[in-house]
A and B are shown apart, each in its own frame.
Chain A
Amino acid sequence: MKDHGTFFDFLEVIRRAESGEGMKEADFDKKLGKKVSALMRQYEIRYHPESVIPSDDGLADRVYQAAVDLFLDLGVYCTDTQRVMLFSKEELTWALEHAPQEVRYGREKEIVSVYPRKVEDPRDPVCFFSAVGTPVPEEMFLPIARSYAQEPLADTFSGPLITSYQGIPVTSGSPVEVEAAIWNTQMLREAARQAGRPHIGIHNFQSTGEKTDATIASAQEKFGAFPGDGLLVAAIAEMKVDFERLKKVAFLRQSPYILGALYGPLMGGYAGGPEGTAIALVAHHFLGLLGFSAERHNSFPIHIHYVCNTTREMLWLISMVGQALARNTHLMIVSNAFMASGPCTEMVIDELCAHSLTSTVSGWHLNPSAVAKNRHPMRCSGMEPRIHAEVGHWVTKMGLSRQEANRIALKLIEGYEKNIPEAPIGKLFHECYRMDQIRPTDEYESLFEKRKKEWREIGLEVI
């Protein structure tokens, strides 16, 4: 069982949610924007479009310090009680010192140890293959989930989601949500079995059920959720939590499942541009650590208009946050890839490459990938995380520095950035996979091979 002594007292979190200073939500949002803006000036944090992977350690440390100031001054907003939870510097320091330094996913031969990565870490990143909740029909769930689980570089996996179950729409809070959630867990474990990896860790075994009751209902060994699997709990918006999320925390703290926190601030939103959102995203890790008792941390910052994180500003933000945390904490941090374009396009291959090399050299583990702006049904496959993970492994084998990675990233960005607003949505799963074998089509694999050869010209020596 978990050692609760290493986390901040969860009941105290609830007390503060009930007794903290009352504040209108809109005032909290405005305070966030003002604080972040002031901290950017105070710490001289500036985004530079030609340096998407900065090699400036001082800048990374200033982003970190600004985030500490933001967290201590702003606190965390609970939308159910409309109160602000504040934490002291001593509490934050204690929590950071006592944060876990290892979590293990999977069982038997599939055990994977997640560790705190460093900037330019020569060790391979752990790769969490994920369909990031892409909507799919019920009959396609299993083959698609299998396409992720069977990939050799998949250290763990998770699945898409279904929008109807046995012909009934899966509606939040309804009985069918519970039924579908249980089915979701069962099918993921079945996908692992069909992939020949029955003991592989499922880092988020619930994506169809969203409500806490549905999530808890599905969390049983008889459905395929074992110790060494996990669930993700998300902050609902910038520096905000609610009781629905905190209920999941209450359950997970007493369960054998690994609790990953999930943060997705909008770049361009309440925290402002890339600099402000970088500060806010680092501060979210403190929210997850103190508020959620998070054992590890997932980030998916996204562009407010383009719903991806492969633009120039987004890659800078990802790099800065990774470096800030990797240099100043031993938190285990994971970078979620959100692509503008869809499967089986040259653009998605380049976006995946840019995101992966940026994340890998900046201290992150990898969580590929949402594609086609994560909104088009059936546009996802195990091939995209394969591309992303392969790049991550090459980066460590090559021993790429931030400077070298920056030069390559800029070349890639120059090629695709103009197409981001109207990015091609690519192909449906069954159009880019051979359904009889659940393997990528020759077209898709050839496209990747072609890009690999071309990447050599920009300095990415593919092994």
Chain B
Amino acid sequence: MDLFKAMAEAVIEGDEERTVSLAKEALTKGVPPTEAIEKGFAEGMKEIGRLFDTLEIYLPQVIISADAMTAGVEVFRQHLLGQEEDLPKKTVLLGTIQGDVHDIGKNIVKIMLESNGFKVYDLGRDVPVLNFIEKVKELHPDIVGVSALMTTTMVHMPKLIEALRESGLRANVNIMLGGAPVLPEWAKKIGADGYGASAMEAVRVAKRLAGLQVEEKGEEA
């Protein structure tokens, strides 16, 4: 369908006006929002992810495309307001662990997850273990994603997993780790469910953990 192709292209070009107008066109034509997003906008973002993976484009272009997609998706969301139907979302609670202020990696993962249809609750940087626990209780995310850049902060990651266990929350949530000093074998050892060495790998792992379709193999913890 040409409309889907145009939607994908608008995302790739980062053309916010066009994603908005194409979303409206899709609604006028009676295309279900979920189908339009999946076959249109998401395809464009998939290509953006591929181009970023190979560094044919850089982060600013990814952000522009992600903003364009968000604007388009917002049209569908507004349309569905007040209706029983809503856009299905898997949720990720994201944060840089206690003591760590380095959050570029986490921010890139956030952009890529949102662009791939996840609802992300970003707790920011230097997030105490107890805050993660409180937010898991409040928001019931499908996945908790945690990053660290320093060896002195990654030691809080096993504490978080243990705290989730003690709170009886561990069985209902997947844990995904990332960050420069975090190695996949260590993530597995401390009981994480997934590990992402890059933003795109984090998306693949998150999709697997959330039970969504995964086209390429992600690294497992």
Instruction: List the B side residues contacting A375 at CB < 8 Å.
Output: 180-181, 183
B27 at the interface (CB under 8 A from A): no
Residue of B108, B151, B198 with most chain A CB atoms under a 10 A cut-off? B151
Is there an interface contact between B180 and A374, defined as CB atoms closer than 8 Å?
A: yes
Q: Which of B87-95, B152-160, B202-210, B213-221 contacts A (4 or more CB under 8 A)?
A: B152-160
* Shortest Cβ distance from residue A197 to the other chain B in the assembled complex, whole angstroms: 28
**Binary contact readout B136-153 vs A (1 if CB under 8 angstroms, 0 otherwise):** 000000000000001111
B191 at the interface (CB under 8 A from A): no
Which residues of A (7-33) have their CB < 8 Å from a CB of B? 26, 29-30, 33
B63 at the interface (CB under 8 A from A): yes
B104 at the interface (CB under 8 A from A): yes
Instruction: List the B side residues contacting A210 at CB < 8 Å.
Output: 99, 150, 152
* Shortest Cβ distance from residue A46 to the other chain B in the assembled complex, whole angstroms: 15
Q: Which of A187-195, A264-272, A319-327, A440-448 contacts B (4 or more CB under 8 A)?
A: A264-272
Partner of A269, one of B100, B104, B151, B183: B104
A153 at the interface (CB under 8 A from B): no
Which residues of B (105-128) have their CB < 8 Å from a CB of A? 107-108, 125
Total interface residues on A, CB under 8 Å, equals 41
* Shortest Cβ distance from residue B132 to the other chain A in the assembled complex, whole angstroms: 16
Instruction: List the A side residues contacting B170 at CB < 8 Å.
Output: none
Is there an interface contact between B180 and A272, defined as CB atoms closer than 8 Å?
A: no
What CA separation (Å) do A416 and B183 show in the bound complex? 24
Instruction: List the A side residues contacting B104 at CB < 8 Å.
Output: 237-238, 266, 269-270
What CA separation (Å) do A36 and B183 show in the bound complex? 33
Say whether, besides A30-B60, A268-B58, A171 and B103 are in contact (CB < 8 Å).
Answer: no
Is there an interface contact between B60 and A272, defined as CB atoms closer than 8 Å?
A: yes
Instruction: List the A side residues contacting B101 at CB < 8 Å.
Output: 79, 236, 242, 244
Instruction: List the B side residues contacting A170 at CB < 8 Å.
Output: 151-152, 155
Instruction: List the B side residues contacting A34 at CB < 8 Å.
Output: 60
B31 at the interface (CB under 8 A from A): no
Is there an interface contact between B181 and A33, defined as CB atoms closer than 8 Å?
A: no
B53 at the interface (CB under 8 A from A): yes
* Shortest Cβ distance from residue B60 to the other chain A in the assembled complex, whole angstroms: 3
Is there an interface contact between B151 and A273, defined as CB atoms closer than 8 Å?
A: no
Is there an interface contact between B60 and A172, defined as CB atoms closer than 8 Å?
A: no
Is there an interface contact between B59 and A270, defined as CB atoms closer than 8 Å?
A: yes
Main secondary structure of the interface of B (DSSP, over half): loop
What CA separation (Å) do A209 and B150 show in the bound complex? 11
Residue of A171, A271, A374 with most chain B CB atoms under a 10 A cut-off? A171
* Shortest Cβ distance from residue A402 to the other chain B in the assembled complex, whole angstroms: 25
A37 at the interface (CB under 8 A from B): yes
A305 at the interface (CB under 8 A from B): yes
Say whether, besides A169-B155, A237-B102, A307-B180, A269 and B198 are in contact (CB < 8 Å).
Answer: no
What CA separation (Å) do A266 and B108 show in the bound complex? 12
Please give me the residue from chain B that is nearest to A265 by CB atom: B104
Q: Given A238-B104, A272-B59, A376-B183, 16 more contacts at CB 8 Å?
A: A30-B60, A30-B63, A33-B60, A36-B60, A170-B155, A171-B153, A172-B99, A172-B150, A211-B99, A266-B59, A268-B58, A270-B104, A272-B58, A276-B58, A304-B55, A375-B180
10 nearest A-B residue pairs (beta carbon): A33-B60, A172-B99, A172-B152, A272-B58, A169-B155, A163-B151, A172-B153, A269-B59, A268-B58, A171-B155
What are 30 A-B contacts with C-beta separation under 8 Å? A29-B107, A30-B60, A33-B60, A33-B63, A34-B60, A135-B151, A161-B151, A163-B151, A163-B152, A163-B155, A169-B155, A171-B99, A172-B98, A172-B100, A172-B152, A172-B153, A172-B156, A177-B152, A244-B101, A268-B58, A269-B58, A269-B108, A270-B59, A270-B60, A272-B58, A272-B60, A273-B58, A276-B60, A305-B198, A307-B180
Chain B: residues with CB nearer than 8 A to chain A?
A: 52-53, 55, 58-60, 63, 98-104, 107-108, 125, 150-153, 155-156, 180-181, 183, 198
